[in-house]
């Protein structure tokens, strides 16, 4: 028999080491201290204003969670009863009926403790006491010696979500709590402790090696029968007395392959493992969906290409951070929204970044179903990590659990050892600071690859990012492996992307503010203002505000009001990232991937995200949808590059024209093109098109079928734009409004911001440039009635060359 009982009810939380008198506060499990105190009205929302700064005491406090539950031996009837803790954050002591069960210090692991002998008939009391994460980390730091990192925080000394301690986009909110489910599992005889399927596809034949681990209750030595089935194929083996491990191999002829989105379908097959006895009784079952596909990393010519089912995949990716500082608040519906936004933007891979978490099973399940590839960092980021005990054992235990847990997911295509730690050791002066102290090399070059090779041999492992493929090579070499590009944003204009010729870009990005409605919610003191302390608190990057303004450069005019600052810096973010992606896609197949920083935010903040902390799409998201489209035209130097990331040939006649700003043709050219599937074709332009007679008054356009491209010969601040003139009509439609803009002059980067009128409103398109006589229609969705006059006026309707600028 097997029975799982959640223990999520009746919890309270008490501050043990604080003098505020917080005791017996109702607590939600799964959850954390911050969300419990917020629900009780004992703290202000840490996402609003500068409330975060007054909550640092929470991470320096010892907290006790406690609940009571009833248990009856007769009703249980099991040989074993285990307390199963899927996630304890982080320095936890578990006490049942006054007896200490265990002490843990790793947020990234789950735990199972046998407690049958500690249970009492009737009422039982369970307490989980959480020590201060700061106290634990600072004690380890004092023992082992300091290690370099980007912030004055000790996150590398505790196995906990690093960005909990603050980042250049995130608040410092150091949590404690039971952050994943907890429950009592009663069972007899034997149970399936783990199943680790190694799934491959070769020559149209699928193969599953199901590695099954069985745990026996007490001294049970009964023979056991282990069966596995998938896609109508069945395998069986026996475990004799004392045996706990079995491998069942299933050969599946002709399964439908699982493909990344855009390459084919995502068929999933239930893999079922049963544990039974000779008399046919079933002791336990395990079921997960798997997909048949092969994956490898092609390093030909020092490149970096993810190959799925023998097809090279150009990665159109985004980095993923924890979607909330309090992960228990990330529901399945919220994941659906966020992953849907990724797919709708043309993204085919998410990199789960190393300063965060191994995400929930729900996350990977949804990626499986959507065909979203996952690159999984092990949780190490931007710092030197100690390799001494207890860290070495903790890292191996968490890695073994994570690799085993995530093995069934076809979406997972790469294990990555760390984020920027190899680069830090090589290029950031760490060696001098460290001396002979450890920094994590043993994890990235030995422990983690050994664990992956043993437990997940069908997936590639990469030691870190950026990384050139060997420890002795410069880690951030554009000609090898993966690189991160951060001179753009930190120091250089975004046109610098055009000077790069990388093999694979795993991080790059540019900042922009969140949506207006998001700022208004987060800053409660009135309309936001540039330079205000409230807005500054929601800018975590060093010198971030100055970099935003400096980044406008010659591209866009200097803002004079908050509304201009908001529009222009959002627009500049979109342009910068789009410029980089277009450049890197034009280099395919030499360059085989871009992973922009970043898809999402965890709170309302000025950041690199395309979707802000309230889930609203920034202008960058709309730009991503354009430059991550299956088919793309991009003007690079003196050529139009035709990018065809579809499975079919793209043929037609490319039409290119040099026009005056009034739309008058000055030169034209047509070029027959034939671009193979998954291919690129540069089409060189003659001087009559590549060069302008008057760069300030001309524009280049290109069209191939339904795809278009537009490039000005000069930066916007140097173009003699006419004052925008257009006709605009708005009409109500079910669920919102339809807005049609017809240009009488050139209209540059037309955008609608309906969230200024209704925080729930959103528009279907943005950043549209219209030539004279052209029209664009925008669909605005809103649950309420919109003011149509306000919808079609400043500051809701914007363009670069609007009247009065």
- pLDDT tens column, 172-223: 999 999 999 999 999 998 999 999 999 999 999 999 999 999 999 876 678 8
Residues 468 and 360 in one domain: yes
426 and 488 part of one domain:
yes
In the block, which residue shows the tokens 């935010």?
601
| Predicted pLDDT of residue 733 | 96
Number of domains comprising the chain: 5
pLDDT at 253: 96
Work out the burial of residue 300: count CB atoms within 10 Å of its CB; fewer than 13 is exposed, 13-18 middle, 19 or more buried. exposed
Q: In whole angstroms, how far apart are CA 347 and each of 315, 338, 459, 580, 629?
A: 8, 12, 21, 15, 9
With respect to residue 525, please indicate whether it lies within any of the assigned structural domains: no
Distance CA 381, CA 433 (A): 18
Based on the domain organization, do 268 and 319 belong to the same domain? Answer: no
561 within domain boundaries: no
Predicted pLDDT at 277: 84
Q: What pLDDT shows up at residue 242?
A: 84
Q: What is the CATH number of the domain that holds 49?
A: 2.60.120.260
The answer on 638 and 615 residing in a single domain is no
C-alpha closest to that of 725 among 748, 753, 691, 758: 748
What lies within 8 Å, CB to CB, of 601 at 6+ separation is 169, 321, 514, 607, 609, 611, 612, 613
CB 268 within 8 A of CB 366: no
Three-state DSSP class for residue 680: strand
In a domain, 536, yes or no: no
Do residues 178 and 323 both lie within one domain? Answer: no
Rounded Cα distance, 167 and 151, in Å = 8
What is residue 100's predicted lDDT score, i.e. its pLDDT?
A: 98
- 754: domain CATH number? 2.60.40
Residues 370 and 436 in one domain: yes
Structural domain span for residue 695 = 633-718
Q: What is the pLDDT of residue 17?
A: 81
Low-confidence ranges of the chain (pLDDT < 50): none
Render the burial of 199-210: b for 16+ CB within 10 Å, e for the rest: bebeeeebbbbb
Strand order in the sheet with 245-253: 190-202, 205-216, 245-253
Residues 143 and 212 in one domain: no
Return the structure tokens found at 588. 């395919």
The CATH number assigned to the domain holding 458 equals: 3.20.20.80
Q: Does residue 551 sit within a domain?
A: no
Q: Report the CATH number that the domain containing residue 694 is assigned in CATH.
A: 2.60.40.10
User: Rounded to an integer, what distance in angstroms lies between the CA atom of residue 516 and that of residue 146?
Assistant: 41
| Residue that finishes a domain, picked among 242, 257, 290 | 290
Task: Tally helices (H) and strands (E) across the chain.
Answer: 18, 44
* 675 contacts 649 by C-beta, under 8 angstroms: yes
**Cα–Cα distance, 269 to 370 (Å, whole number):** 15
CA 113 – CA 97 distance, rounded (Å): 14
- Secondary structure string (H, E, C) spanning 35-102: HHHHHCCCCCCCCCCCHHHHCHHHHHCCEEEEEEEEECHHHHCCCEEEEEECCEECEEEEEECCEEEE
Q: Are 460 and 415 spatial neighbours (Cβ–Cβ below 8 Å)?
A: yes
Strand order in the sheet with 775-781: 726-733, 736-743, 775-781, 762-763
Q: What share of the chain is helix, strand, coil (3-state, %, to 5)?
A: 25, 35, 40
CA 195 from chain centre, in angstroms, equals 26
State whether 93 and 113 are in the same domain. Answer: yes
Contact 490, 547 (CB under 8 A): yes
Q: Which two tokens stand for residue 647?
A: 């499975």
Let me know if residue 42 belongs to a domain: yes
Contact residues for 656 (Cβ-Cβ < 8 A; gap 6+): 640, 668, 669, 670, 671, 683, 685, 689, 700, 701, 702, 703
Position 550 in a domain = no
Residues 165 and 19 in one domain: yes
For residues 606 and 548, give the distance between their C-alpha atoms in angstroms, rounded to a whole number.
10
Which H helix or E strand runs over 400?
helix 391-406
Q: Output the six-digit token pair for 215.
A: 């745990």
pLDDT digits (tens, 9 = 90+) for 91-132: 999 999 999 999 999 999 999 999 999 999 999 999 999 999
Find where tokens 């690079």 sit: 636
- Are 78 and 203 part of one and the same domain? no
Number of residues that make up the chain? 805
Which pLDDT score is estimated for 2?
A: 85
* Contact between 62 and 132 (Cβ < 8 Å): yes
Out of 718, 751, 768, pick the residue that ends a domain: 718
User: pLDDT value at position 749?
Assistant: 97
Q: Taking the chain, what is the end-to-end CA distance rounded to the nearest angstrom?
A: 75
Q: 306 — phi, psi (to 5°)?
A: -80, 125
The pLDDT, as a whole number, for residue 676 is: 97
277 and 350 within one domain? no
Q: What is the DSSP string of 115-169?
A: -GGG--SEEEEEEEEE--HHHHHHHHHHHH-----SSSS-GGGSBS-GGGB--SS
CA-to-CA distance for 315 and 465, rounded, in angstroms?
15
Residue 16 lies in a domain: yes
- Domain-terminating residue out of 588, 612, 628: 628
Residue whose C-alpha is closest to residue 372's, from 407, 403, 409, 399? 409
Q: 453 with 590, same domain?
A: yes
252 occurs within a structural domain: yes
User: At 282, phi and psi to the nearest 5?
Assistant: -95, 120
Using alpha carbons, select from 723, 776, 730, 777 the residue that is nearest to residue 757: 730
């Amino acid at each position: 028999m097997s029975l799982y009982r959640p223990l999520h009810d009746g919890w309270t939380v008490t501050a043990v080491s604080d003098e505020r008198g917080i005791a017996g506060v109702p607590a939600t499990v799964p959850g954390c201290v911050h969300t419990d105190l917020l629900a009780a009205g004992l703290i202000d929302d840490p996402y609003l204003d500068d409330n975060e700064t007054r909550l640092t005491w929470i991470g320096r406090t010892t907290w006790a969670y406690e609940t009571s539950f009833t248990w009856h031996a007769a009703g249980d009837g099991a040989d074993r009863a285990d307390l199963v803790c899927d996630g304890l954050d982080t320095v936890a002591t578990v006490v049942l009926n006054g007896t200490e069960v265990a002490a843990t210090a790793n947020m990234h692991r789950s735990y199972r403790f046998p407690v049958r002998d500690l249970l009492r008939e009737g009422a039982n009391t369970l307490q989980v006491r959480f020590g201060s994460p700061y106290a634990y980390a600072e004690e380890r730091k004092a023992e082992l010696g300091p290690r370099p990192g980007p912030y004055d925080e000790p996150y590398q000394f505790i196995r906990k979500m690093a960005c909990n301690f603050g980042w250049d986009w995130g608040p410092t909110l150091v949590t404690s709590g039971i952050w994943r489910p907890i429950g009592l599992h009663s069972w007899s005889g034997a149970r399936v402790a783990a199943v680790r399927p190694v799934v491959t596809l070769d020559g149209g034949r699928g193969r599953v090696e199901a590695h099954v681990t069985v745990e026996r209750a007490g001294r049970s030595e009964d023979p056991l029968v282990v069966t596995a089935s998938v896609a109508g194929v069945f395998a069986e083996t026996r475990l004799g007395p004392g045996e706990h491990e079995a491998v069942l191999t299933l050969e599946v002829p002709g399964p439908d392959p699982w493909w990344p989105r855009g390459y084919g379908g995502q068929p999933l097959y239930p893999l079922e493992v049963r544990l039974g006895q000779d008399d046919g009784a079933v002791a336990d079952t395990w079921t997960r969906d798997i997909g048949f596909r092969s994956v490898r990393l092609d390093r030909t010519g020092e490149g970096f290409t993810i190959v799925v089912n023998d097809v090279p995949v150009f990665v159109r990716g985004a980095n993923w951070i924890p979607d909330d500082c309090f992960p228990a608040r990330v529901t399945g519906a919220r994941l659906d929204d966020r992953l849907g936004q990724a797919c709708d933007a043309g993204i085919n891979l998410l990199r789960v970044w190393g300063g965060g978490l191994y995400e929930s099973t729900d996350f990977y399940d949804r990626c499986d179903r959507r065909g979203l590839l996952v690159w999984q960092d092990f949780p190490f980021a931007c710092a030197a990590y100690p390799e001494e005990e207890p860290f070495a054992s903790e890292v191996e235990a968490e890695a073994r659990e994570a690799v085993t847990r995530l093995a069934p997911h076809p979406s997972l295509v790469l294990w990555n050892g760390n984020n920027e730690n190899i680069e830090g050791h090589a290029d950031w002066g760490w060696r001098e600071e460290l001396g002979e102290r450890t920094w994590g090399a043993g994890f990235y070059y030995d422990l983690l690859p050994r664990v992956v090779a043993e437990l997940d041999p069908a997936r590639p492992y990469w030691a870190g990012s950026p990384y050139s493929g060997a420890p002795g090579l410069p880690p951030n070499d554009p000609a090898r492996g993966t690189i991160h590009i951060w001179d753009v944003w930190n120091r250089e204009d975004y046109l610098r992307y055009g000077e790069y010729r990388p093999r694979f870009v795993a991080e790059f990005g540019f900042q922009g503010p969140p949506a207006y409605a998001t700022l208004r919610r987060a800053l409660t003191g009135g309309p936001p203002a540039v330079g205000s302390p409230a807005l500054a608190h929601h800018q975590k990057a060093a010198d971030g505000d100055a970099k935003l303004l400096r980044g406008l450069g010659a591209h866009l005019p200097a803002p004079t009001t908050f509304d201009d600052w908001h529009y222009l810096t959002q627009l500049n973010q979109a342009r910068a990232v789009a410029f980089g992606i277009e450049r890197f896609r034009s280099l395919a197949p030499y360059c085989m991937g871009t992973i922009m920083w970043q898809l999402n935010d965890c709170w309302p903040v000025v950041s690199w995200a395309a979707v802000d902390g309230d889930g609203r799409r920034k202008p960058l998201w709309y730009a991503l949808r354009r430059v991550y489209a299956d088919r793309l035209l991009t003007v690079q130097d003196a050529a139009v590059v035709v990018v065809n990331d579809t499975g079919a040939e793209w043929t037609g006649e490319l039409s290119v024209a040099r026009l005056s700003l009034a739309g008058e043709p000055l030169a034209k050219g047509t070029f027959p093109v034939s671009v193979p599937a998954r291919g690129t074709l540069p089409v060189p332009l003659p001087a009559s098109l590549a060069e302008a007679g008057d760069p300030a008054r001309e524009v280049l356009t290109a069209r191939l079928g339904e795809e278009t491209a537009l490039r000005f010969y000069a930066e916007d601040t140097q173009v003699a734009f006419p004052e925008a003139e257009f006709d605009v009509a708005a009409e109500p439609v079910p669920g919102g409004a339809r807005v049609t803009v017809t240009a009488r002059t050139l209209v540059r980067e037309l955008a609608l911001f309906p969230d200024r009128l209704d925080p729930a409103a959103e528009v279907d398109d943005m950043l549209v440039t219209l030539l004279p006589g052209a029209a664009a229609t925008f669909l605005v969705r809103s649950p309420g009635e919109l003011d149509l006059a306000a919808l079609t006026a400043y500051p809701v309707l914007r363009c670069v060359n609007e009247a009065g600028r």
